[in-house]
Structure 1
Amino acid sequence: MVKFILLLSTLITAVVAKLTYPTDGTVWKVGEPVSVTFAPGQPAETVNMYFSHDRSIVIGSGPISEGGSFEFIVPPNAVNPAGGPAELVVIHRVDLHLYSVDTIAIQIEG
């Protein structure tokens, strides 16, 4: 029981990798090479990224405990069909367990 409480305490105080780029309001163009950049995070931390209006395409995923970038070409489906900014969703997992979710408003130009 004590080990469980210590583990839980560690998870509660742990900080996941901070998303350093993009920031809200960043403008990307379809077909442009871009990157999503993170500061170092927790051991065994991973991320999955996609646009909220089309979750069928994961635009980046992998370990982020050491920080780093995920590079990709902005796909045509990144344009929000409802107009306005697209919402980039970043799912953080630590030891394969959901830990937190970041969302960033990105303006995608066709």
Structure 2
Amino acid sequence: MIYILQGELYVGFITTNNKLVSKIVKAGEVFVFPRGLAHFQKNTSKYPTAVLAAFNSQLPGTQQFAAALFASKDPVPKDVLAQAFNIDEHEVEMIRAGLNNCLELQ
């Protein structure tokens, strides 16, 4: 769940039927993400947005999907990623290289 203190976010999640549910959430509004579904938030304001976030557990954990799928220490096989994302194995390698470069900079 998020509560927008200042600014605004474009938020959304993907249902189990692969349907996007999204909206712009502005200061003073709340948005609840269903548990276990892939979701996102993007600042749409020219300025930083301040948000209070609440999780449904003491140890909810978060995971960045791109890093989890393409830059894991025990890599997901290239053919699996290529088939899942309808890309070729060369594109998988390009994504991995780009993500690994970004993660090294952090």
- Give the alignment's TM-score, normalised by structure 2: 0.29
Give the structure with higher Rg (CA): 2
Between structures 1 and 2, the one with greater helix share: 2
- Give the alignment's TM-score, normalised by structure 1: 0.28
